[in-house]
Amino acid sequence: MHLGSIDITFVVLYLLGIAAFGMWMGRGMHTGFDLFLGGKSLPWWAVAASLVVSDIGAKDMVGLADDGYRYGLVMTNFDLIGCVFPVLIAAFLFMPFLWLAGVYTIPEYLGRRYNQYVRLCFAVIWAVFMVGTLGVIFVSAGTMFESLLGWNFSTSVLMTAILVALYTAFGGLKAVVYTDLVSCVVLIIGAILICVIGLQEVGGWQALREKVDAMPGTEYHFQLLRPADDADYPWPAVLLGLGFVLGPAYWIGNQAIVQRSFGTKSQSEARASYVMCAAIKTLFPFLLVVPGLIGLALFHDKIGPGNSDSWQGGQVLPELVKLLPTGILGVVLGAFLAGIMSNLDSYVNSAATLCVTDIYQALINRRATGPQLMWLGRALVVMFLSLGACCSFFVRERFGSVFEAFQTFLSFFQGPLLALLLFGMLTRFATQWGGLAGLLSGVTVASYLKFGTTDLSFLWIAWWSFVASVAGVAIVSLFTKRYNDDRLRGLVCWLPMRQERG
């Protein structure tokens, strides 16, 4: 693809500008508290934008365009029922509560509510998951750069890793949130431009519907919901697996997401950030899925049918981007970079926080000083980016659809995580051993369903692992001793901290 000088100028300025801005935001950083929680000084509106782009990044731009091409508007449910619904509940019930608990990480909360085994298990699981996720994001970056700029995969991954390491290691969560704010604006502009120019190319919305409807196997492409016996996305599985398990687990329990709301100034600002995030997310799914439909109408002959064995993921968005005129292309490429960087910085910062808080500080050195934790966090940022870059080569070989790979990672332990959080926050009934049993039973069932059965949707895997986890917590809690109320104060919603007198 030929980039005009104005496009290249925009992209280079964007890359350098965002790195410099991030490093500038990180000045005056002295402790792990500053690096990991931004000194609890982050405004709600910046956190809201950061929440949006931490969720919708490069993987979604590429992956959702692909899946929009293959499955149509049913993919919008990942935001409509999988995000907006749990985010609104989390905004009022969970986030203010977790903010008051004063935790750095979700495993830290689980450790205080259950025991250190549960904390360690989830810290390790999250760290492994985040390395895998970083690999997925790097694959998105490599695919896009290869197609657009002709760079090879290794060069693309290396360039991206260095840039993100620069400002995330120095600026911490504060740099992450403020650069995400810029990224959010660029991302929205870029997504709108792709939709508008793509629709013009097709001949408008009505022409798009007519062209897609005329193709074989597209009878549900413009439906939000597919029938209950659909092989890929049956609506009961979408509702139960995505709406009631994966979505809530992601928005309440994903460290990379919730960490930024822990950095707000107050619990009411944590709530406001989540509500604003939900408001922004009502529009995003259409901006990300409709390009897939446009790609189907325009490039069906070139890319081929999405349900065939010859399907190659990652091609829809790059083909669409080639339609854009010089000047606009730079903005859209900037949007893609914004998505990559915001995803990467969020996950890498959270992975470092987890390792420092839940492993190093909890198990190795309880008396570590603030500056020690900060420098260790910075070193871990570099290490996690390196691991993620290495992992991307494996992810690239193994998975066809980037987005599906991300969901497969999630489905293994999101059910157990949600079960433990719900039992932990909403009841006094769950015991420490019940929590451990719930974790093990959920992960066991998820593993069995994934590897012991064939062609089972990850949505069903998430649902049944959640059910198994609930059963595990409930049954074992019946026969084991629970903590007293004083031990649970501040950890269960109905048992607030005692107010100090005087």
Partner 1 sequence: MSGQFTTLVVAMGATSPLAGRLAFASVFAALIVWLLLAPASLFDESSTTARPDKTPLWRNTRTWAIAVAAFEMLTYLLWR
Using rule CB under 8 A, residue 68 touches partner 1: no
Q: For residues 113 and 435, is the Cβ–Cβ distance under 8 A? A: yes
500 forms part of the interface with partner 1 (CB under 8 A): no
Q: Tell me which residue of 37, 47, 78 sits closest to 276, measured CA to CA.
A: 47
Using CB under 8 A as the binding rule, whether residue 456 contacts partner 1 is answered as: yes
Q: How far is the CB of 284 from partner 1 (least distance, A)?
A: 13
Of positions 41, 268, 307, 326, contacts partner 1 by CB under 8 A:
268
Distance in angstroms (rounded) separating the CA atoms of residues 387 and 88: 34
Q: How far apart are CA 459 and CA 255, in angstroms?
A: 21
If one asks whether residue 383 binds partner 1 (CB under 8 A), the answer comes out as no
Q: How does DSSP classify residue 2?
A: P
CB atoms within 10 A of CB 323: 17
> Contacting partner 1 (CB under 8 A), which of 380, 464, 469, 476?
464
Q: Residue 356 or residue 462: which is nearer to partner 1 going by CB?
A: 462
Is the separation of the CB atoms in 75 and 292 below 8 Å? yes
CB contact at 8 A, 54 and 271: no
- Which region, judged by CB under 8 A, interacts with partner 1, from 51-59, 175-183, 325-333, 452-460? 452-460
Which one of 15, 158, 185, 224 is in contact with partner 1 (CB under 8 A)? 224
**Binding positions for partner 1, 167-196, rule CB under 8 A:** none
Alpha-carbon gap, residue 153 to 414, rounded angstroms: 31
The amino acid at residue 429 is: F
Smallest distance from partner 1 to CB 229, Å: 5
Token readout for 75 is 């993919």
CA distances (Å), origin 327, targets 81, 295, 330, 472: 36, 21, 5, 57
Q: Which of 272, 329, 418, 422 binds partner 1 (CB under 8 A)?
A: 272
Choose, by CB under 8 A, the member of 11, 52, 91, 181 that binds partner 1.
91
Contact 492, 427 (CB under 8 A): yes
- Shortest Cβ distance from residue 287 to partner 1 (Å)? 14
Report, in Å, the least distance between residue 441 CB and partner 1: 14
The C-alpha angle 330, 335, 341, rounded to 5 degrees, equals: 120
Which amino acid, 81?
Answer: I
Strand partners, 234: 226
Please give the DSSP secondary-structure letter assigned to residue 484. Answer: P
Nearer to partner 1, 94 or 138 (CB): 94
101 binds partner 1 (CB under 8 A): no
Instruction: Print the binding letters for residues 229-248 with partner 1: x by CB under 8 A, - otherwise.
Output: x----xxxx-x---x-----
The CA distance from 499 to 502, in Å, is 9
- Region near partner 1 per CB under 8 A, out of 218-226, 292-300, 405-413, 430-438: 218-226
List of residues contacting partner 1 (CB under 8 A): 80-81, 84-85, 88-89, 91-93, 96, 223-229, 234-237, 239, 243, 266-268, 271-272, 275-276, 278-279, 282, 449, 456-457, 460, 463-464
